[in-house]
Amino acid sequence: MDGDVTPFAEPDDSGRFGRFGGRFVPETLIPALAELEAAFRDAWADKAFRDELDGLLRDYAGRPSPVTECERLSELIGVRVLLKREDLNHTGSHKINNVLGQALLARRMGKQRVIAETGAGQHGVATATAAALLGQECVVYMGDVDMERQALNVFRMRLLGAEVRPASTGSRTLKDAVNEAMRDWVASVETTHYCLGSVMGPHPYPWMVRELHRVIGDEAREQCRAILGGADPDVVVACVGGGSNAAGIFSGFGSIAGTELWGAEPAGGAAVGHGVPGIVHGMKSFLLQDEWGQVTEAESISAGLDYPGVGPEHAFLADIGRARYEAVGDDEVLDAFATLSRTEGIIPALESAHALALVLRSREELAGKTVLVNLSGRGDKDVQQVSDLFGPDAGRDRGLR
């Protein structure tokens, strides 16, 4: 790793992490992004704002989320596995951390309308939840394909008072939902805050969203030291699509040289592993592209990871060698989904099952080590989809291989 670079610091004045990041947006959005950056800096330095957010994270979202020791799974694979339980947050994932912060920021900026994009629906549900709490108008964009495979979350968003608008062009998944949300924001920027759900997009979003999720890593570092007698885990693993949950937990361990950071990408959307630098959604990062530089469609069993790029800070971490990213196949994910369910009584989100799958695949390399996995969401939303894939035998032939 380049010794002159400090991981998880602020980006430079142009909003870049090394050669990645920046602001590549229409001129009409430059003032809005500058306003957002100034507002966030002001709020983040304001004790009253931080105290209100901390209070909501504690009393409304349920933080701190615990770290659970997986004794049966650990014995089975010969690796000591700890789970950071973001699945136990209100709304069922890590997304609520970022959304509560952005909803409070929108109110502080005098913007009563919030819009969001969503893939698996968890960010949409969290945004609808925060908007209901604060009395804000909420519109969520979601791809047609994702609306079909995540119908339960669509109902939850509507129940919470949000309008869910389908993205019916392109792959009709997360990338296209982002496109529609950004079009809306361009047209309504004076009255609307775009509550972007991951560490992607134009500056200041990658940095701001990471800071709002830093609570995951800060908690996990202290919790692990309490469990491990002052020691740190050997490896921290998280799934990566845009990469917000990974950025959140990685930030707590980035300065600890003895702890490796592993990101698990979907095999059909491995932007770090198979992408090349390019520009999409206002940022420069690793993207899946064809020979003409056109962004290609990603494919994943998980709607939340079905994205052809990755947050620019993850591209930077890969570039400097601080984090390692590997692709995980759908079959491995389903095996991990079943394995955790049967050994620990915890049903993970398909997104989180990617991180578990990488641990199971690497169990020989990890033998005797301690691994912290960010369980970024619970699997309630995925049960019907997995049931259809497993069939009537509930996948009894699935599990650790």
8-state DSSP, 303? G
Whole-angstrom distance, CA of residue 81 vs CA of residue 274:
28
How far, in Å, CA of 331 to CA of 333, rounded? Answer: 5
Catalytic residue among 90, 94, 224, 314: 94
The stretches of 284-329 forming alpha helices (DSSP H) are 312-319
Q: Which residues are within 8 A (CB) of 27 and not within 5 positions of it... i.e. 6 or more apart?
A: none
Nearest to 297, CA basis, from 200, 152, 390, 169: 169
**Residue 70 is a catalytic residue:** yes
- Active-site residue among 70, 138, 224, 239? 70
Whether residue 249 contacts residue 220, with contact meaning beta carbons closer than 8 Å, is answered with yes
Type of residue at 194? Y
Q: Cα–Cα distance between 138 and 158 in angstroms, integer?
A: 10
Q: Is 94 a catalytic residue?
A: yes
Quote the CA–CA distance of 141 and 246 in Å, as a whole number: 23
In sequence order, the β-bridge partners of residue 370 are 80
- Kindly list the catalytic residues: 70, 94
